[in-house]
């Protein structure tokens, strides 16, 4: 009578020690490997990691098979897991000495679903960190996790392959990789959007635009003055520097745009210059009085007075240079806007002037309020 031979029981401690030895060997050859290491017993702790695992477990195709890989993740059998656009590759330590290689391909989010996601997020997401940490309205989380219509993939969008000889549709090595993805999303939720081939910034971009236009409309209705730094920070999503001044000389800027000169400048241009320095007149001769001093004596007397005025001139020139340097940035921006026939936006101005976006938007706001430029559309400006 023949008896079936069952494989030898291997304890969790023995499996973990085997995985640790193999991981040390692999790190000597490739220091860039990224193993899945759990802190505690939970496979996933954040909203993104938990939602990923729950999405897989609720499908009938996976519910009976995916649990086979949980123990592999828990005892450190996932030696390496790399996430790229639409693909995940992993190395799983199994019963054999050589780790098994797993490749999982996931299709990107379809355009209709992504458009629905952006529309649902409009006005509901305040910042990118809050999105990545899972701190958003509960209703929005239900939209993200909607089965077949949300951000998470369905079984029809997932294809996988493993180098093990197991004939099962989903082997435990593939299941361990899928659970490992949920653990990796705890560390970096942005990998989820990279895997689904979409840009995470698109979900909060519309919210920032709506906030910007509301603030600009509010500023136009207010009396002339400066916008508070806190409002500017909320409008553009940036931190304002201390001591920044939004005011700039109106007369100089209008002269740069219209090409008109001030009255003093026009008067100075009309008077012809002889190129000679003004000389002091000799005192008139008095009858019977002392003789007038000679030219050489007059020069000697005038030399100390000229020397005293030189330091004052040098002290006055330095702040003028700083003022003209500040003025040139504003003048360049306004001239570029005036030359543009169809209008220009802030991003293009940043490329043409090499100035930071914060400074560009400050100049645009002040110039628009003073009537130097006008708005041709959303974020597009023309010369007034």
Domain membership of residue 152 as a residue range: 12-204
Contacts of 202 (CB under 8 A, 6+ apart): 114, 118
pLDDT at position 1, please?
A: 44
Q: Is the pLDDT of residue 350 over 70?
A: yes
Q: pLDDT grade, residue 351 (50/70/90)?
A: confident
Phi, psi of 70 (to 5 degrees): -60, -45
C-alpha span between 382 and 337 (Å, rounded):
6
CATH for 371: 1.10.10.10
- This prediction has a pTM of 0.54
C-alpha span between 294 and 130 (Å, rounded):
85
Which CA distances in Å does 171 have to 22, 25, 48, 77, 142? Answer: 21, 25, 24, 14, 30
| 70 contacts 57 by C-beta, under 8 angstroms | no
**Tens of pLDDT along 224-240?**
444 454 454 544 444 44
Between 42 and 305, the higher pLDDT residue: 42
Q: Is the pLDDT of residue 27 over 80?
A: yes
Considering the domain architecture, whether residues 312 and 190 belong to the same structural domain is answered as no
Q: 278: which 2 tokens?
A: 């003004």
Considering the domain architecture, whether residues 16 and 58 belong to the same structural domain is answered as yes
C-alpha span between 284 and 34 (Å, rounded):
98
Most confident of 43-52, 167-176, 239-248, 275-284: 43-52
C-alpha span between 118 and 200 (Å, rounded):
10
Phi, psi of 365 (to 5 degrees): -65, -45
Which of 154, 173, 204 is where one domain is finished?
Answer: 204
* Average confidence (pLDDT) over 61-69: 79
Q: Please count the structural domains in the chain.
A: 2
Q: Is residue 290 part of a domain?
A: no
Most confident of 97-101, 128-132, 166-170: 97-101
Contacts of 75 (CB under 8 A, 6+ apart): 12, 15, 16, 19
Q: Is residue 212 part of a domain?
A: no
**Tens of pLDDT along 121-154?**
887 877 788 888 888 888 888 999 998 889 999 9
């Amino acid at each position: 009578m023949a008896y079936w031979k069952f494989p030898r029981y291997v304890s969790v401690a023995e499996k973990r020690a085997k995985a640790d030895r193999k991981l040390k060997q692999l790190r000597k050859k490739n220091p860039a490997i990224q193993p899945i290491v759990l802190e505690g017993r939970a496979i996933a702790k954040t909203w993104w990691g938990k939602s990923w695992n729950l999405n897989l477990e609720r499908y009938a195709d996976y519910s009976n098979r995916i649990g086979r890989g949980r123990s592999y993740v828990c005892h450190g059998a996932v030696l390496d897991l790399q996430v790229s656009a639409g693909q995940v590759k992993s190395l799983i330590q199994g019963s054999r000495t050589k780790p098994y290689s797993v490749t999982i391909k996931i299709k990107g989010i379809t355009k209709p679903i992504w458009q629905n996601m952006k529309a649902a997020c409009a006005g509901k997401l305040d910042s990118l960190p809050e999105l990545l940490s899972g701190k958003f309205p509960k209703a929005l989380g239900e939209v993200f996790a909607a089965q077949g219509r949300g951000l998470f993939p369905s079984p029809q969008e997932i294809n996988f392959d493993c180098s093990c000889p197991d004939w099962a549709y989903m082997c435990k090595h593939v299941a361990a990789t899928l659970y490992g993805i949920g653990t990796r999303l705890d560390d970096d939720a942005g990998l989820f959007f990279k895997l689904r081939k979409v840009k995470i910034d698109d979900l909060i971009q519309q919210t920032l635009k709506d906030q910007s236009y509301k603030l600009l409309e509010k500023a136009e209705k207010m009396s002339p003055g400066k916008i508070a730094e806190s409002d500017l920070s909320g409008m553009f999503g940036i931190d304002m520097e201390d001591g920044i001044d939004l005011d700039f000389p109106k007369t100089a800027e209008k002269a740069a745009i219209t090409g008109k000169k001030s009255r003093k400048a026009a008067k100075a241009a009309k008077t012809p210059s002889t190129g000679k320095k003004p000389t002091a007149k000799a005192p008139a001769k008095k009858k019977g009085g002392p003789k007038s001093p000679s030219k050489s004596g007059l020069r000697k007397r005038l030399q100390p007075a000229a020397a005293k005025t030189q330091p004052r001139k040098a002290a006055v020139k330095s702040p003028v240079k700083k003022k003209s340097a500040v003025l040139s940035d504003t003048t360049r921006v306004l001239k570029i806007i005036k030359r543009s026939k169809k209008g220009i936006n802030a991003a293009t101005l940043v490329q043409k002037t090499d100035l930071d976006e914060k400074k560009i938007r400050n100049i645009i706001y002040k110039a628009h309020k003073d009537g130097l430029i006008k708005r041709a559309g959303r974020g597009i400006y023309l010369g007034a």
